[in-house]
Structure 1
């Protein structure tokens, strides 16, 4: 899905932090010097670039400004896989916080619905120590079961009632090593996997109007931390693999 020109994707760039220098020449600040509007469609900051390493494309994400690399295509019923690795650089407003990123799926509607950056969507959270958490962005919802600590549990009958659901366990690879991310999506159900293990599952995904949410674009975040992605593939499915479906409790 990744070529050197990122021909299958478009970029929406959000509001730059006040610390960001070398803004586009046509970017308009407020009279008091604050940044309050998104840079918008396009990537004038060069946030997303592709390099070739050992004959394969690697997506380089600078993290300097919040942004989303958005697939032009809409997907449904698929298995998404990719490898993810952190870089070293961090930026405001997350300079002294955990490195953060995310894979957004079932993205729909206008750019900038969430924080003037990302679309309404479901998020596979990619944050140090939190790979596989679920976030509902800009009005999406679903049913996901949790234990008494708020962590996903396929054996519980308790439904989570907040926008974030914590994955069952942390399986992120050590810093500087690749972590494998799998997302299975089948109609209004999805499964999050980290390094080959199911860490969260949900069903009855809905958009902000309460209608079933069963398809959408993909967005790969830039969120204050340098990182890399490669081996990004999406394959159609008609059912979940039996072992994975069993582990997910769906």
Structure 2
């Protein structure tokens, strides 16, 4: 196809601009090492079915209540690092509810990781869908929610629910959604209702299911700038939140990152983060964000 000189120059300019932007992109910071040196571990209340614990360990049929094992006390090695195919992988057994928490707090970033399910499931979720989660903008004390997790925004990692939004322990936000009776589903073209953005349990369902088949890796990404955030699953925008806040007052724009153990064996790899100052234009458009 013949193109005019101005058209060719315009194409060349676009290519050069893209290359310059790529060259200027901040480097990724890898968050996973063999010693989990960038993280701390909080372990919640062991279910009464857990074996192999010291005899004086408090246990409960209700793992949301009772006495948690606490900070950096992980006798069952719920969180560990293994090597697979020459790559470091975070292994989470799921046997006890817990959170792996970054020591540092972050704001205005692009977070990325890959996740796949294992096979084991544990009480009290042995008959439920496999569950984990990426918690971000985590602030305050450990155990604020269910004696396990911090106050935070949750990128849900549950079978067939990758990217759902949960607000834990007093956080909130505004989401465009479609009403689906008892659920609200994110929709960038949906209605805007800042007075009632979330449904019971603080959940908004992702726009569509883009999870990889069981046993395969899925890529999960969080973009957050200021009080806004975007969830991606395998490159697809599935959720966008504005006016992220705490207790209806003040914006919430930074915090630690937690990875959940919640009753299912799960693996994470290539856990990394890089700073950003704005959302990529294509993602902002896909999320329905105003300029």
Give the TM-score normalised by structure 1.
Answer: 0.95
Counterpart-to-counterpart distance in 2, 1:161 and 1:88? 32
Work out which of the residue numbers 283, 287, 290 in structure 2 matches 1:244: 283
In the TM superposition, 1:21-100 aligns within 5 A as 21-28=51-58, 36-42=66-72, 43-100=74-131
RMSD between superposed Cα atoms in Å: 1.3
For residue 27 of structure 1, report the CA deviation from its aligned partner.
Answer: 2.3
Provide Cα deviations, 1:182-227, integer angstroms capped at 9, x if missing partner.
1001010000000000001000000136221010000000000001
Counterpart-to-counterpart distance in 2, 1:71 and 1:118? 13
Higher helix share: 2
Structure 2 unaligned regions, length at least 5: 1-30
Work out which of the residue numbers 131, 135, 150 in structure 2 matches 1:119: 150
1:9 aligns with 2:39: yes
Work out which of the residue numbers 161, 177, 183 in structure 1 matches 2:198: 161
Query: 53-62 or 123-132, which moves further after superposition?
Result: 53-62
For residue 158 of structure 1, report the CA deviation from its aligned partner.
Answer: 3.6
Work out which of the residue numbers 184, 187, 192 in structure 1 matches 2:231: 192
SS of 1:115 mapped into structure 2: coil
Give the TM-score normalised by structure 2.
Answer: 0.82
Provide Cα deviations, 1:144-191, integer angstroms capped at 9, x if missing partner.
111122210111224323200000000100000000101001010000
Asked which structure has the greater CA Rg, the reply is 2
Q: Which runs of 4+ in 1 moved over 2 A?
A: 24-30, 157-162
Counterpart residue number, 1:141? 172
Work out which of the residue numbers 186, 196, 206 in structure 2 matches 1:152: 186
Q: Is the 8 A contact 1:147 1:158 kept in 2?
A: no
SS of 1:244 mapped into structure 2: helix
Structure 1 unaligned regions, length at least 5: none
